[in-house]
Chains A and B, each alone.
Chain A
Amino acid sequence: SQQGEEDPQALSIQEGENATMNCSYKTSINNLQWYRQNSGRGLVHLILIRSNEREKHSGRLRVTLDTSKKSSSLLITASRAADTASYFCATDLYNTGNQFYFGTGTSLTVIP
């Protein structure tokens, strides 16, 4: 079963613009992670944010976490055509021993 839901389902932007996608989840977590998936490929880890963290940066990526609202957002700044992919949030549920559940994904298209 899907633990999280991403919003929007699809996003199309021009190269150089920022892309923001959101993830909502249902139960308490140890951490939340974001993954990227290029068409026909496996998922690649982007960034991990722990439940006691509120914001984290990695290169052009910025992740926020609001545990009171059970939501997270991923911001990709200065997008490039190569950022075109699907993005998924994954929740490591509290007290389940590394049980990861993925959201429904956001399909990002960056137009050159």
Chain B
Amino acid sequence: EAGVVQSPRYKIIEKKQPVAFWCNPISGHNTLYWYRQNLGQGPELLIRYENEEAVDDSQLPKDRFSAERLKGVDSTLKIQPAELGDSAVYLCAGYDRNTGELFFGEGSRLTVL
């Protein structure tokens, strides 16, 4: 069974440029999370989806961040425009209702210059 797929793995952009990250969770994981992880820190929740509905986006900086999960499967997280402080790893995870576990992708490492 394929794991959580994220792309790109690495992205380097200039500040004020846009960037997008894509995530495809494990089939059947209807709950999807986007986390941001700064160097040496734990993941911080940005947004949680139940199928296509964003049920908690209170931590998402809405002035520049947006996310979508149109068909309740894969998801995209966008930043426009990027700022220096957005440099981090963006992690996507799906929730397994049977075991209560989160399954993470390898993450997308963003560097903003």
Contacts and interface: CB of A to CB of B under 8 A. Distances in A.
Interface residues of A, number: 27
Interface stretch (B11-19, B63-71, B72-80, B100-108): B100-108
A104 interface: yes
Contact of A33 (B56, B101, B105): B101
A92 B93 CA distance: 14
Main secondary structure of the interface of B (DSSP, over half): strand
A97 B107 contact: no
Interface string B38-49: 001111110010
Contacts of B109: 40
Interface string A77-99: 00000000000101010000111
Given A2-B44, A42-B104, A98 B31 contact: yes
Given A98-B31, A99-B56, A45 B42 contact: no
B33 interface: yes
Given A41-B106, A48-B100, A90-B102, A97 B43 contact: no
Interface string B75-87: 0000000000000
Interface string B87-102: 0000101010001111
Given A42-B4, A105-B40, 14 more contacts: A1-B44, A2-B41, A35-B102, A35-B104, A43-B102, A45-B101, A48-B100, A92-B100, A97-B50, A98-B95, A99-B48, A100-B102, A102-B43, A105-B41
Interface of A: 1-2, 4, 6, 31, 33, 35, 40-45, 48, 88, 90, 92, 97-105, 107
Interface of B: 4, 31, 33, 35, 40-45, 48, 50, 55-56, 59, 91, 93, 95, 99-107, 109
